[in-house]
A and B are shown apart, each in its own frame.
Chain A
Amino acid sequence: MQRKLNQKAWFLVLPVFLLVAFSAVLPLMTVVNYSVQDTFGNNEFYWVGTEWFVEILNSERFHSALGRQLLFSGIILAIEIPLGILIALSMPKKGWGASICLVLMALPLLIPWNVVGTIWQIFAREDIGLLGHTLAAMGIDYNYTHSPTAAWITIIIMDVWHWTSLVVLLCYAGLCSIPDAFYQAAKIDGASRWAVFRYIQFPKMNRVLLIAVLLRFMDSFMIYTEPFVLTGGGPGNSTTFLSIDLVKMAIGQFDLGPAAAFSLVYFLIVLLLSWVFYTVMTARDGEAN
Chain B
Amino acid sequence: MDFAWMGWTPFTAVFFATIAGLILSMIVWEKLSPGGAPRFGVLRFETTRGDRLFVSLLGSAFIHLAWLFFVGDALWYALGLSVLYALAVFRWV
Contacts and interface: CB of A to CB of B under 8 A. Distances in A.
A and B touch in the complex (CB under 8 A): yes
A37 B9 contact: yes
Interface residues of A, number: 25
Interface residues of B, number: 22
Contact of A57 (B12, B45, B58, B69): B69
> For the complex, would chain B's binding face be called helix, strand, loop or mixed by DSSP majority?
helix
Contacts of A279: 45
Q: Which of A29, A39, A58, A286 has the most CB of B within 10 A?
A: A29
A45 B68 CA distance: 23
A78 interface: no
Interface in A234-289: 265, 268, 271-272, 275, 279, 283, 286
B9 A33 contact: yes
A43 B7 CA distance: 7
Closest 10 CB pairs of A and B: A43-B4, A33-B7, A45-B7, A57-B69, A30-B6, A33-B12, A53-B68, A268-B61, A283-B45, A32-B12
Given A32-B12, A32-B15, A50-B68, 15 more contacts: A29-B12, A30-B5, A30-B6, A30-B7, A33-B7, A36-B11, A36-B12, A43-B5, A45-B7, A50-B73, A54-B68, A268-B62, A271-B58, A279-B45, A286-B46
Interface of A: 26, 29-30, 32-34, 36-37, 39, 43, 45, 47, 50, 53-54, 57-58, 265, 268, 271-272, 275, 279, 283, 286
